[in-house]
Amino acid sequence: MSVAVAVWLAVSIVTAVLLAVLMLQLIRNLKLLAGALARYRDEVQPLLERMQRESARARERAETVPSRLPDRRPGARLRK
């Protein structure tokens, strides 16, 4: 076996090992990210639901406000 082939084989093996290590780290980090995302969703979901309820309640109140305002047509009298 020539020296060039041995060097090429050693570099190839080291590269393959490094790629395998990088892939394992990537998979580990993806699992950590998925767990963090699940925890975040569990913590944020109740706040989001409360905000949606409050938004719906505010929208309902905003729809009834014009009916309680005085008439604003031209020539309408202002209350004193």
* Res 36: pLDDT: 97
**Low-confidence residues of the chain, pLDDT below 50?**
none
* Res 22: pLDDT: 98
Residue identified by tokens 């767990």 is: 35
Q: Which residues contact 78 (CB under 8 A, 6 or more apart)?
A: 70
How far apart CA 33 and CA 22 sit, in angstroms, is 16
Return the percent helix, strand and coil in the chain, to nearest 5: 80, 0, 20
* Res 62: pLDDT: 83
How far apart CA 14 and CA 21 sit, in angstroms, is 11
